[in-house]
Amino acid sequence: MLIYKIFRRPEWDQFRAAGETLGAPVDLADGFIHFSAAPQLAETAARHFAAESDLVLVACDAGRLGPALKWEPSRGGALFPHLYRRLVLADVVWDKSLPLGASGHIFPEGVF
């Protein structure tokens, strides 16, 4: 099962250069890296990145993240994937641009 992380372009560039990340400022503040499952992704993008266009969508295989990945209640009581360790480039299955269109973000084909 793939889970997804949305990065702003500078965050993604820094992650790629370093080879690892503890996430965005919100992740650092919360003590874990926020991910979304596919059904949660559009709402996450709309809620937290509504007007942002230079984004990168990163997919990771939940099964390969090990016991540091926890599914915990969040928005509306739904279980969201939270990673309690550094994310390393080897964890990334793929990355794709997530542009902003006239009616919201344009997700890559096959995500939903």
pLDDT-derived band at 109 (thresholds 50, 70, 90) equals very high
Residue 70, in any domain of the structure: yes
Is 90 exceeded by the pLDDT of residue 38?
yes
Is 80 exceeded by the pLDDT of residue 29?
yes
For 35-66, the DSSP string reads -EEHHHHHHHHHHHSTT--SEEEEEEEGGGSG
The Cα–Cα gap between 92 and 53 comes to 21
Q: What is the mean pLDDT of residues 66-76?
A: 93
Residue 108, in any domain of the structure: no
Residue 13, in any domain of the structure: yes
Residue 105, in any domain of the structure: no
pLDDT-derived band at 89 (thresholds 50, 70, 90) equals very high
Tokens of 16: 């790629």
